[in-house]
Amino acid sequence: MVFSLNDINWLAVIVAGVLYFLIGALWYSVLFTKPFIRYRGEIKPEDQGKPLDYALTFAADLLAAFVLALILDGVGAGTLTDAIVVGLAVAVGFAAASSFVYTIYSGPHKMLWVIYSGYLLVSYLVMSVLLTLWV
């Protein structure tokens, strides 16, 4: 397995990062607002996202898209099936598993983990498909 930055489709990485960010915006502001607030609690105005928070989130989303592109390239993913398998493996094996451990020890309601993990699963599947099939 050889990783090469020359094989990375940088435009696809940027678009994948943007999609990750937009999925998060939809997930937490439109699709799951009520259950998120029910299990997390009301967010005070002073605790709501500030421009720097959004910029850092977007930077993290770009980093995740880049690393996913490296993984996809490294395993030689080239089909929709490859994309789905890798996307599921990364989402469940790394992202959801890590957030589950956080949930166990930090005390938020376990339904928050379901909301977070659903977001991660959808996001990583979308990014994986885009990064694999955009040639």
Mean pLDDT of 80-106: 93
Q: How far apart are CA 86 and CA 16, in angstroms?
A: 15
Domain residues for 55? 5-133
Label residue 44 by pLDDT band (50, 70, 90): low
Q: What pLDDT was estimated at residue 112? A: 87
Q: In which band, very low, low, confident or very high, does the pLDDT at 122 lie, cut at 50, 70 and 90?
A: very high
Average pLDDT, the chain: 90
* Distance (Å, whole) CA 56 – CA 47: 15
Q: Answer whether residue 64 shows pLDDT above 90.
A: yes
More confident residue, 103 or 108: 103
C-beta atoms surrounding 128 within 10 Å: 28
Q: Is 19 helix (H, G, I), strand (E, B) or coil?
A: helix
Tell me the whole-structure pTM to 2 decimals.
Answer: 0.89
Say if residues 12 and 134 touch (Cβ distance below 8 Å): yes
If one counts the domains in the chain, the total is 1
pLDDT band of residue 23 (cuts 50, 70, 90) is very high
Q: Is the dihedral of CA 83, 133, 64, 47 positive or negative?
A: negative
